[in-house]
Amino acid sequence: DCRQYTNRSCEECLKNVTCLWCASTGRCLEYPVRRILPPADLCELRSARWGVCWVNFEALIIAMSVVGGTILLMLGVCCCCCCKKKSKKQVSEGPDKDDERAARERERRRVRQEERRAEMKSRHDEIRRKYGTV
């Protein structure tokens, strides 16, 4: 029973994890497990201690809110950075594909031109042989 630690020390009260120390009244109470936070009529948040004596519920709530908000903010920034990076990558892929397509087209034209040159050379050689100007 937590009440036996009333008017003793916070450390003694909190050795039992089911106990709540109220610093303003010096009472050791059963923690109201059905509620997340102890009600104000039981003990004020700034006076309530649970787990450790040096952190009150008010400071714990503020600290948890700051940490939670920071984590959410960091996740949001990371998501924005990833989306931006992905969209930049997609934009940069477009010109690369166009460049590749243009390079393939240039290569096809070069091959066709070489084929035409070879064909013209063979025709000219044939005409020269026909008329004996070789």
Number of structural domains, the chain? Answer: 2
Q: Which amino acid is at 105?
A: E
CB 30 within 8 A of CB 2: yes
The pLDDT value given to residue 118: 95
The pLDDT value given to residue 107: 95
Q: Are residues 69 and 120 in the same domain?
A: yes
The pLDDT value given to residue 134: 62
CA-to-CA dists, residue 115 to 110, 122, 125, angstroms: 9, 11, 15
Q: Are residues 50 and 87 in the same domain?
A: no
* C-alpha–C-alpha distance, residues 41 and 22, integer Å: 11
* C-alpha–C-alpha distance, residues 60 and 92, integer Å: 47
The pLDDT value given to residue 89: 63
CB 58 within 8 A of CB 42: no
Phi-psi category of residue 51: left, alpha or beta, with phi > 0 → left and psi -120 to 50 → alpha:
left
Q: Are residues 45 and 79 in the same domain?
A: no
Domain-ending residue, one of 38, 55, 72: 55
The pLDDT value given to residue 92: 55
The pLDDT value given to residue 63: 92
Q: Is the pTM of this model over 0.85?
A: no
Q: What is the pLDDT along the chain (134 residues), one digit of tens a residue?
A: 888 988 889 999 999 889 999 999 999 999 888 888 888 888 898 999 988 899 888 888 899 999 999 999 999 999 999 888 777 666 555 566 778 888 999 999 999 999 999 999 999 998 888 888 76
The pLDDT value given to residue 78: 93
Q: Are residues 115 and 71 in the same domain?
A: yes
Q: Which range marks the domain in which residue 103 is found?
A: 63-131
